[in-house]
Structure 1
Amino acid sequence: MILPLKINTSLWSHKTVTFGVVALSSFAFDIMRCRTCPYNTGRTAFACQKLSLSIIAAPQQALTPLIPPMSPLTPQPLGVSLPPQDAHALSVSMPDWAHVVGYEEARPEVLRAMACGYPRFFRHPLVVALTQRVQTQLFPGDDAAAWELMPVPTAAAAERLRRFLVASHPESVENGVKNGDVTVHVVENAVHVVRFPHRVGKTAAQFWQHSGEIVSSRHAEKLLQVLQGVKNVQIPALGGTSAHLALRKRVSGLYLPSEDPGKVALYPTGMAAIFATVRLLQKYRGSDCKGILVGFPYVDTLKILDRKEWCARGVHFFPTCGEKEMEEVEAIVAREKVLGIWTEFPGNPLLSMPDLKRLAKCAHDNGTVLVVDDTVGSYNVNTMKHGCADLVVTSLSKIFGGTGNVMAGSVVLNPDGPKFKDLEAIFDPEEDSFVVEDDAQALLEQSEDLAERLAKTNVTTAEIVQRLLKHPLVKEVFYPTLGDAKNLYDPFLNPSEEKDKPRYGPLFSILLLGGLEPAKAFYNALTVAKGPSLGTNFTLSCPYTLLAHYGELDFVESCGVDRHLIRISIGQEDIEVLWADFEAAFAAASAFIEPDLHKWRYSPFSSVWRFPRMTVSSEASLCNRSMVAGECNMTVCGGEPLAQLEGQTRKHAGSDARQSTTGVYVEKQTARQARDSDLKVKGRKVWMRAD
């Protein structure tokens, strides 16, 4: 008797597979090269683990409950690709906090273990092999200590890299380069490379990272085959194929009432898409004006807008999006010509966002353009609504693909935006966009079940966040439903038949009580995948601030991003499996928490909303604030030890305050006492009893 057996293995690729099974006795079998297995996406030649199943004769509908989902919560060693054993994996396992620090500090023992890495930060082995092949073919006599080569996807990208290197190292300065020292070469009319002196190699790597104009692993694989003369292998197409057209249609259908591929341009990475909007607006507005960046963004967006090689005038950067910042933006746009306004909705990693309607009005009333990166919104929102975003940028590497083994980005032009006609005249998705055909085809296959995957991760993430908010060791959670963020987010929600279901995406960030040691212990104890990226079908965590901003920790903390922040992207796993893993990690962290500290809740001034009915009176300087706790029956005190507080006054005695190495804690009082309290403090930390 042959019965179809459905196994929802989900997690590295999240698909359901059906087998024909003899269901009359117990047996075991192997799944070989199964694209649904947690350890294989079906695009490599590796065999998967054995899966032993004990099956009894039963109707098909009775079989599924007998087989539990395969759990991906198996710790992966340092340097293993995520997904494991995938030749095109985008992420890499960094299971220990010390591994992240070691990677950032370029410690040899860590770097030696890295079989792969995030493609904009790490040269993929196939890209390295392509570079070496071109080196041997074109410049066999080059001294590796003197010269380097970098492949790029197009002739235009090669010229941009050449100009970037020359502008970064002008001949007039020490260690500058002559214009002729940086040259562009083409091999077999297919491979574009830039040759430059070794001493500017670090700058070339910055171009690769920030601009995102990289050669992907699939692109490199095909180019190698072309150079090797493999039979029937053509020069890989970067546009114009049926796969490109189908992908542009699918992306447009997520934003527009009907599919319109003419409104979508494709790029090899999300950052390349951001970079493309900068070039587009320089055509529209000129290159002699500053851009504006609102909200703390992903690291490379700020780098693009701030690099003088690309934006000569630089950028007005507002890491927070409060009333004061919005008024400053409005004043700037009213008095000077602005290149454009860029923002994320929500932001990465704080999940905050500006008042998008107000920001759009500010841009449009003054003749400029609003560009929105909605990657973290994960297709739950459409920022083109209400005539807001003129251009929407998205990393297709994230939730769109989900499997974590293909890079790409998109720019979508809003046909209903007030600047549409002007932008349409210079927006050319056929000419400018460039994604290799194999990547486009992979994205088409992987995005077929986008709606199903997104619905599941939305629900799971929302429930996890609710549990975290109640956890005694959690100091703060960053998520779009919290505080004022929800009111800014909800007007842009996409229509849904299940309006009562959460639609806030897979991403959140957390801070733990106690600082560094509890954060390290929590992260190290997690068994979910740990490495860069987000939006994957498997849950992925990282100490975000360290990984993205290790060389500028003081700066990002001044922007409100704690150096001990942990970012988590929820995948397709069962919620209870995930929560059990989090609980075990919290147990590990608890060993580093001061006695009774878990009884207290913390909030920085930037998120006082966490405490209902609190009123805040603040002076202009962050270093001298007054906190008045009225109806909430709480006394509030600054987070520095009492001996270090400056200008502190206490109008009412009787509060129960105590000190520790991590701050001052003030216990609950009567309503009368709280109203009388008026403490001026130095610092930004506020503690109160979590009763």
Structure 2
Amino acid sequence: MACSLGAAVPPFAPHAISVSLPTWQDNVDYEEGEKRVVDAMVSGYPRFFIHLGIQKLARQCRQKFGSSGEDCMLFPSRKIAENCRSFMIDRAHAQGIDIPIRLVQHVIHPNNGSSNSPSIELHIVLFPENQFSLAKQFWQHTGLGVSSRLAERCLIMLQDQEQLPTSMASPRIPGKSGNKHYSAKPPRESQVENAVDDLEDATYLEERYGRNLPQDAAASAKRAMKRRIAGVLVRDSPSDWSQAGKQDAEVGPSTRGVHEVSEDDVYLYPTGMAAIWNAHQLALHVRPPTKSICFGFPYTDTLKILEKWGPGCDFLGNGLDKDIDELEQILERESAQRPGQPPILALFTEFPSNPLLRCANLPRLRALADKYDFLIVVDDTIGNLVNVEVLPYSDIVVSSLSKIFSGDANVMGGSLVLNPRGKHYASLKQHITNNFEDTYFNEDAIYMERNSRDFARRIRAIDENTEVVCDFLRSHSLASSSPPENTVIKEVFYPKYTTTEHYNKCKVSEDAGFGGLFSLTFVTAEAARAFFDALPCYKGPSLGSNFTLACPYTILAHYMERDWAAKYGIEEGLVRVSVGMEDRQTLLEDFGKALAAAQATSTSSTSYVV
């Protein structure tokens, strides 16, 4: 599937959450900050690439409120802006640096006074421009920045203002040290102008043809999503979606494995990472603050959250049963040192993990949590609530709705669910009720509600496609009972083959699938590159889309720490694939072409992947 370097994925989507990096070298050059790649990008994953509309709005805010030498970040609430300021001050202080940071509240009113377009509050964090990378860390790790739809709505309200000169573009942070995701490059002015679409026309079309709820129905859209996530809707299908968010919709006991769960136990956030950050903050406020445990190799920012906020964490990166043995030793040691106090704050784990698709032994972890009195937080994004039910073993379940719940890869969102049967439910519930602020932008919620109406049907179709593809690839791998002589695939990581017994304990039913994500490792670096480059699908960050999406995961997520990642089995040549809803035979032919390209390297290559 052709898509040019730097183009939005999906194509022609002004709020696409991925970007085309079609070759292995494109991904390497992106991480290296090469001009040919960075200049071509008009999109990117929203926590790493600041949307062009957000950049334009930030320039206007900087011109209006900033001083010479200042840059800024935009947030939807004062509390989040204050958290950003605190993070920056604390991190700078640890380096012996004092930085001045100012907060400004900016209320933008609609030009026409329409009640359908309420005023929007922006909270601006102004800081020295040479500290942009530090502010970007907060943006990336927490996922709490303003959304692209919120920014573009503000720009519509401000459309009568003069256009800013190109020289006001955000400066690039020089140098190649540190994580490239924390740096930024100013877009060409023409790119910014082209990216800011006429949202009034788009909104009209979506509502006129019945795809979206009207803009003033955001509360109903959020209620419908919370009911879907809680599993309480008696009837919920695309044909009667308009009923899902109504006050009198028919609801029943939850299907999430804990019947008592209600929509009131579900909290929506602007991103999945925001849900994880808030889960950690919730634990820190409710329980005695001490170290957490990160169990299994997680998506990169989960570990960064546990390391950079609070007392830190211990990392048990393999996530296997032998790591639970080590966990027990940690718990016993900490309990002996601090009698009467919980030995750890909380254990965070993914089910399955990204990218090795490993599943923790949740029943065993739950027994330890009950014995030693700590919280369990499970991210079920990859397993998803149609396939697995992890809530009975968890105190908190978090998920990225941006993935398969949405499927269209054009809107961000996250959820947090409390387990009403959990020992600490009352204290968790009281704190979150008293302190929760809804910063999920209404227009994002409306798009997410539309996308999620048929998520169960889509998941089942993707499950079936993925299992067929994985069976085909594994039969051509060294893990096969009779591998072909010229095999170049070392291993296929997929819950059907990876810690299967733990996955099966949490399957919703015997016929539930194994999800839409898998990873591959290869016997040589050349084979990995050839496979990736020849695979005819979209290539870029993210997962859980209705279309197949692949990336060289270690290059994209851990380029600056490849040796460290390799210690936990995350090989440099690992390719991660999120399977979509394409025709199954076409998918098999596409993966067959990629496999043939990889096998063609086997006679001429002796450079093995580390």
TM bracket (short chain): 0.7 to 0.9
Shift of 1:88: 0.5
Residues 239 and 282 from structure 1, CA distance in 2 versus in 1: closer, same or farther, beyond 3 angstroms? farther
Shift of 1:590: 2.0
Counterpart residue type for residue 98 of structure 2? V
Match for residue 268 of structure 2 among 266, 269, 283:
266
Match for residue 252 of structure 1 among 222, 230, 235:
230
Hey, what does 1:605 align to over in structure 2? none
Distance in 1 between the 2:295 and 2:94 partners? 35
2:468 equivalent to 1:467: no
Hey, what does 1:332 align to over in structure 2? 330
Shift of 1:474: 1.6
8 Å CA contact 1:384–1:390 kept in 2: the answer is no
Match for residue 283 of structure 1 among 275, 278, 285:
285
Q: For residue 432 of structure 1, give the secondary structure of its aligned residue in structure 2.
A: coil
1:581-600 aligned within 5 A: 581-594=590-603
Hey, what does 1:114 align to over in structure 2? 41
Shift of 1:662: 4.6
Hey, what does 1:490 align to over in structure 2? 504
Identify the range of structure 1 (426-435 vs 335-344) with the bigger mean alpha-carbon deviation.
Answer: 426-435
Counterpart residue type for residue 101 of structure 2? V
Hey, what does 1:539 align to over in structure 2? 548
Hey, what does 2:386 align to over in structure 1? 380
Distance in 2 between the 1:238 and 1:373 partners? 31
Deviations 1:598-645 (A, max 9, x none): xxxxxxxxxxxxxxxxxxxxxxxxxxxxxxxxxxxxxxxxxxxxxxxx
Determine what percentage of the aligned residue pairs are the same residue: 38
Distance in 1 between the 2:272 and 2:215 partners? 19
Distance in 1 between the 2:227 and 2:332 partners? 37
Residues 171 and 443 from structure 1, CA distance in 2 versus in 1: closer, same or farther, beyond 3 angstroms? closer
Shift of 1:354: 1.3
Match for residue 243 of structure 1 among 221, 224, 227:
221
Shift of 1:585: 1.4
2:363 equivalent to 1:357: yes
Deviations 1:120-155 (A, max 9, x none): 00010111111012122223xx33xx2101101211
Deviations 1:341-364 (A, max 9, x none): 100000000000211111111112
Hey, what does 1:78 align to over in structure 2? 5
Deviations 1:304-348 (A, max 9, x none): 1111xx12x211100112333112212222343311010000000
Shift of 1:237: 10
2:522 equivalent to 1:512: yes
Matched pairs, number: 508
Distance in 2 between the 1:348 and 1:587 partners? 26
Distance in 2 between the 1:490 and 1:420 partners? 27
8 Å CA contact 2:534–2:594 kept in 1: the answer is yes
Hey, what does 1:196 align to over in structure 2? 127
Q: For residue 432 of structure 2, give the secondary structure of its aligned residue in structure 1.
A: coil
Shift of 1:490: 1.1
The structure in which a higher percent of residues are strand is 1
Hey, what does 1:299 align to over in structure 2? 300
8 Å CA contact 1:171–1:177 kept in 2: the answer is no
Counterpart residue type for residue 294 of structure 2? L
- Gaps in structure 1 of 5+ consecutive residues: 1-73, 598-659, 664-684, 686-691
Shift of 1:259: 6.9
8 Å CA contact 1:130–1:223 kept in 2: the answer is yes
Shift of 1:481: 1.1
Counterpart residue type for residue 360 of structure 2? P
Deviations 1:550-597 (A, max 9, x none): 0000000011111100000000001111111111112222222137x9
Q: For residue 247 of structure 1, give the secondary structure of its aligned residue in structure 2.
A: helix
The structure in which a higher percent of residues are helix is 2
Distance in 1 between the 2:9 and 2:492 partners? 26
Hey, what does 2:375 align to over in structure 1? 369
2:74 equivalent to 1:151: yes
Distance in 1 between the 2:379 and 2:602 partners? 37
Distance in 2 between the 1:343 and 1:546 partners? 23
Distance in 2 between the 1:361 and 1:419 partners? 15
Shift of 1:265: 0.9
Shift of 1:227: 3.9
Hey, what does 1:104 align to over in structure 2? 31
Distance in 1 between the 2:596 and 2:448 partners? 39
Distance in 1 between the 2:133 and 2:151 partners? 21
Q: For residue 169 of structure 1, give the secondary structure of its aligned residue in structure 2.
A: helix
Counterpart residue type for residue 338 of structure 1? I
Deviations 1:209-230 (A, max 9, x none): 1111121111111222344479
Distance in 1 between the 2:561 and 2:3 partners? 29
Match for residue 317 of structure 1 among 301, 315, 318:
315
Residues 166 and 396 from structure 1, CA distance in 2 versus in 1: closer, same or farther, beyond 3 angstroms? same
Deviations 1:459-493 (A, max 9, x none): 1101111111111332100000115x111011211
Distance in 1 between the 2:375 and 2:428 partners? 9
Q: For residue 457 of structure 1, give the secondary structure of its aligned residue in structure 2.
A: helix
Hey, what does 2:105 align to over in structure 1? 186
Q: TM-score, normalised by structure 2?
A: 0.79
Shift of 1:451: 1.2
Deviations 1:226-257 (A, max 9, x none): 44479x99xx9999822222222222126354
Give the RMSD, CA atoms, in angstroms: 2.6
Hey, what does 2:173 align to over in structure 1? none
Distance in 1 between the 2:217 and 2:160 partners? 22
1:205-220 aligned within 5 A: 205-220=136-151
8 Å CA contact 2:222–2:449 kept in 1: the answer is no
Q: For residue 394 of structure 2, give the secondary structure of its aligned residue in structure 1.
A: coil
Distance in 1 between the 2:555 and 2:348 partners? 24
Shift of 1:425: 1.9
Shift of 1:547: 0.3
Distance in 1 between the 2:260 and 2:216 partners? 25
Residues 346 and 560 from structure 1, CA distance in 2 versus in 1: closer, same or farther, beyond 3 angstroms? same
Distance in 1 between the 2:6 and 2:153 partners? 25
1:502-581 aligned within 5 A: 503-513=513-523, 515-581=524-590
Q: For residue 372 of structure 1, give the secondary structure of its aligned residue in structure 2.
A: strand
- Gaps in structure 2 of 5+ consecutive residues: 108-119, 162-198, 201-213, 232-254, 335-342, 477-486
1:310-459 aligned within 5 A: 310-311=309-310, 313-336=311-334, 337-384=343-390, 387-428=392-433, 431-459=436-464
Deviations 1:3-34 (A, max 9, x none): xxxxxxxxxxxxxxxxxxxxxxxxxxxxxxxx
Distance in 1 between the 2:328 and 2:556 partners? 33
Counterpart residue type for residue 550 of structure 1? Y
Q: For residue 215 of structure 1, give the secondary structure of its aligned residue in structure 2.
A: coil
Q: For residue 428 of structure 1, give the secondary structure of its aligned residue in structure 2.
A: helix
8 Å CA contact 1:239–1:430 kept in 2: the answer is no
Q: TM-score, normalised by structure 1?
A: 0.70
